[in-house]
Amino acid sequence: MLFTTVFRIRYFAVAIPPLVILSIYGIDTIRLKLLCVSDKIDKRLQPARYPGGSKWFANIFILLCVLYTLSSTILYLHKQFQEVRPLDYITGKLSRDEYISLYRYEYPAFKFINEHTLENSKVLFFYLGGRGYYCDREYIPDNGNSFPMLHHFIEIDPSGTQLMSFLKENGITHFLIFNHYFMQHMGQNQNRENSYQLQKFMLNYTKKVFDQNGFAVFKIALS
């Protein structure tokens, strides 16, 4: 799983061995038919001068067809090795953390949370969906409701008191925010007063403790 980005390949992987067997069977069937044709040709075209010439051509033809079929696979594997760079990890050129960080930009934030927060911490995601595989703390995935929820509480209580009560009741201690989309949606909000009050809430009740690769961790001042 470490070197693939599409985990659903596991559902298709079980079909690969039968497909390989069928492919080999098909190639062998074509080869036998070509050899039968070549035998007939050899009997008609000067067998003494060109012994087995047509059989040689048939085998070469099959070999070229196989190589042509495999060429796309070889090019794909070469491209994958260039993109995924597994040897950098296998040979120790990159550590596990460095390697994962190349492809999962939120990983450094998760690593910070795992190493610098209490075990009973709970993290609320913003614009990360359910990408909490590397998070060792309890978390609430973002199903598109996290940001609207903040605006809802700020709208009914600009002071942020009700929002803080909600966070305390649910044991939420940290925010993990994808900065780009968070700031984008804040700027697109037509209610400028709400956006201002939300920014004020973030300044007064949270503290940014980590920011890297566009992902920020905020600690909530619950006390």
pLDDT digits (tens, 9 = 90+) for 46-102: 554 555 556 677 677 778 877 887 888 888 888 888 888 888 888 889 999 999 998
- Phi, psi at residue 153, to the nearest 5°? -65, -40
Query: Quick one: pLDDT at residue 144?
Result: 84
Q: What is the mean pLDDT of residues 116-145?
A: 92
Average pLDDT along the chain: 83
Q: In order of start, what are the domains of the chain with their CATH numbers?
A: 9-84 (no CATH), 105-220 (3.40.50.12610)
Any residues with CB less than 8 A from the CB of 113 and at least 6 apart, and which?
121, 123, 135, 136, 137, 174, 176, 210, 217
pTM: 0.68
Query: Quick one: pLDDT at residue 223?
Result: 56
Query: Quick one: pLDDT at residue 4?
Result: 47
Tracing tokens 């934030």 back to the chain, one arrives at 109
Query: Quick one: pLDDT at residue 211?
Result: 96
Q: What is the mean pLDDT of residues 125-131?
A: 90
Query: Which residue has better confidence, 161 or 6?
Result: 161
pLDDT digits (tens, 9 = 90+) for 165-207: 999 999 999 999 999 999 888 777 657 777 888 889 999 999 9
DSSP string, 111-144: HHHHHHS-TT-EEEEES-TT--TT--SEEE--SS
Query: Quick one: pLDDT at residue 176?
Result: 97
Query: Quick one: pLDDT at residue 208?
Result: 95
How far the first Cα of the chain sits from its last, in Å, is 42
CA distance 49 to 39: 15
Any residues with CB less than 8 A from the CB of 172 and at least 6 apart, and which?
122, 123, 124, 140, 220
Query: Quick one: pLDDT at residue 54?
Result: 60
Q: What is the mean pLDDT of residues 124-153?
A: 91
Q: What is the mean pLDDT of residues 138-167?
A: 90
